[in-house]
Amino acid sequence: MSTKDKIKKAAIACFNHDGISNVRLQHIAEAANMSVGNMTYHFRTKEDIVRGIWEELEQAQRILLTEFRVLPLFEDIERLLDSTFRLQNEYAFFYLDMLEMMRAYSEIQELYRQHLTWQIQQMHLALEFNYARGAMIPPKTDPAGFTAQLAAQFWSTADTWKYRCSVQGLPTDDYRTFRAMIWNLFVPILTEMGMLEYTQTTALFA
């Protein structure tokens, strides 16, 4: 593990445990078992560390979606949900402290917005693919607008999951509920073929 990776790993542990606003460079240095001076040689500020972690998370998400968009069948949607949930647990602070972090770090906010736009575009293409193969019912009016909204709702629901559970005092590690909440966005537009595939997929990944 490189020194930079060691620092990022320590920072993630601190942020996940105490929240991003409660962690100082000294805390991260202690968790990484090094001096603040040594750490700031690699990352000058806390924002630099957060930026490095965000780039790591963004790259992991991009790899997931690049693989997903090749042939987004229902099994692939299921795998995307599982992988997304795992990433959210690994980088929990990002989802729990999202608004606070975006306000504090404008550059990361802009990078996240760009990435979210790309994520929505990929899900838009996946929905169109499933309309075309007869698994989902295409909208009769404003198909582009409806599909864009549904794609955005997918990521909004996924990305705010931990925050909403935390506010409501609900467990944030309940994958079954997370999965059901996301799939319920799609169930109303499944065709007969799509419903059969969804049932089979549910049994396969239960």
Question: What residue spans define the domains of the chain?
Answer: 1-44, 46-205
pLDDT at 204: 86
46-205: what fold? Tetracycline Repressor; domain 2 (1.10.357)
Phi first, then psi: what are they for 91, rounded to 5°? -115, 50
CATH classification code of 1-44: 1.10.10.60
Q: What is the mean pLDDT of the chain?
A: 94
pLDDT at 89: 95
204 or 133, which is more confident? 133
| C-alpha span between 23 and 21 (Å, rounded) | 6
Contact between 95 and 162 (Cβ < 8 Å): yes
Give the gyration radius of the chain's Cα atoms: 19
- pLDDT, tens only, 11-46: 999 999 999 999 999 999 999 999 999 999 999 999
C-alpha angle 38/40/44, rounded to 5°? 165
CA distance 131 to 135: 6
For residue 50, pLDDT over 90 is answered with yes
d(CA 19, CA 13): 10
Per-residue pLDDT of 101-150, as tens digits, reads: 999 999 999 999 999 999 999 999 999 999 999 999 999 989 889 999 99
Helix (H, G, I), strand (E, B) or coil at 24: coil
